Amino acid sequence: MPTLLTLNVKGGRAPLLRPLTAFLRSLDLDVLCLQECDRSTVRWLQERLAGDWQASWAPAAYCGNAVLSRHPLRSARLLSLQVPHSETRSAVDAVIDLPGGLLRVCCTHLDHVAEPIRLAQWAVLSAGTAAVGGGLLCGDLNALCRSDYTDAAWEDIAAVRSDGGWEPPQHVLLDALLAGGFTDAVGEPPEPTSRFETRIDYVLAAADCPWRPVERTTLPVLALGLSDHNGVQVRLVR
């Protein structure tokens, strides 16, 4: 079964590139979706990961997003997610020729400040990709799924955000994605992927995606000190 990992690498800070690369090499990955990475990080990984990796990178106001594959990239489109009152984000919409068939994967990183901006960015991305039809939506969505949390945990998140001057916790985007037919590759129980003990990194499969994410694992990248996010790894079956 092919293995996919999505991970926010927090800018791919130079001192951490060697241990991060060693960690990634240990996973025997087929597809790697990265957020907050610059072009030099992508090139570094291409040269040092085991195998002949192909990559596509989409710039953004801060770093960017990338899809890397050790299988042929049949196509890759770069999308700019420009909406009012926010820095420009981006996405890579790639088609990969896996041994079991073609896989469409869209890697993105949505706004960290406000749910209305995330919704506007998703509207741009959805229009540009026909809602990632037949594929996977992966990345740091900075969005919450209400069913991940008890009422008490939700209140705790609200208190932390209030103290930090952030928006109250929102779940409108995830509700819309799930209502639109996406399947959430979520473990039981759901595990946090950010330093705030929330799950904001996802692998979501469109209703008509021929590949289904299974055996989801949250990788302790944060505890290893290699990023401020944990990774989300899935195996893919047809």
Amino acid at 36: E
From CA 44, how far away is CA 191, in angstroms rounded?
30
Q: What are phi and psi of 146, to 5 degrees?
A: -60, -35
For tokens 């799924």, what's the residue?
145
For tokens 């790639």, what's the residue?
94
Report which secondary-structure segment, H or E, holds 41: helix 39-48
Inform me whether the pLDDT recorded for 13 exceeds 70: no
Report which secondary-structure segment, H or E, holds 135: strand 135-140
> How confident is the model over 120-147, as pLDDT tens digits?
999 999 999 999 999 999 999 999 999 9
> How confident is the model over 169-227, as pLDDT tens digits?
999 999 999 999 999 998 888 999 999 999 999 999 999 999 999 999 999 999 999 99
Residues in the chain: 238
From CA 214, how far away is CA 226, in angstroms rounded?
25
Least confident range from 15-24, 56-65, 138-147: namely 15-24
Looking at residue 11, its pLDDT comes to 73
pLDDT band at 30 (very low <50, low <70, confident <90, very high): very high
pTM: 0.96
Contact 105, 136 (CB under 8 A): yes
Q: Which domains, from first to last, does the chain contain?
A: 3-237 (3.60.10.10)
What is the percent of the chain where pLDDT is above 90? Answer: 92
pLDDT band at 12 (very low <50, low <70, confident <90, very high): low
Inform me whether the pLDDT recorded for 40 exceeds 70: yes
pLDDT band at 114 (very low <50, low <70, confident <90, very high): very high
Report the mean per-residue pLDDT for the chain. 95
Spatial CA neighbour of 24 closest among 40, 38, 12, 39: 12
